[in-house]
Amino acid sequence: MRNQQTKKLIGAFLSGAIFSLILLVYIIIICNLQITNTEERLPIGLFLFILVILLTLLIAIISSVIMRIKEIKSKEEEEASKY
């Protein structure tokens, strides 16, 4: 029982961490291109729009992982499977 809970915790954490890292890489690449590429920069409005979308997705992923970990620790899933 405990081993299964540990596997679920690791799975939730790893999936969130992988997708968060992917988004962070995109954010770093876009910011780096915006800073270093002086000839072909994105318009500032478009750059900020893309940045806000990516940061919102990052926050959503982190919060969903936190909620999933709380759900696993509180054993809600096991109680719901009884019915």
**Tens digits of residue pLDDT in 44-79:** 999 999 999 999 999 999 999 999 999 888 877 666
Segments making up each domain of the chain, as ranges:
2-74
Residue 39: which pLDDT band, with cuts at 50, 70 and 90? confident
- Per-residue DSSP letter, 64: H
HEC secondary structure over 1-57:
CHHHHHHHHHHHHHHHHHHHHHHHHHHHHHHHHHHHCCCCCCCHHHHHHHHHHHHHH
Higher per-residue confidence, 78 vs 40:
40
Q: Check whether 37 has a pLDDT greater than 90.
A: no
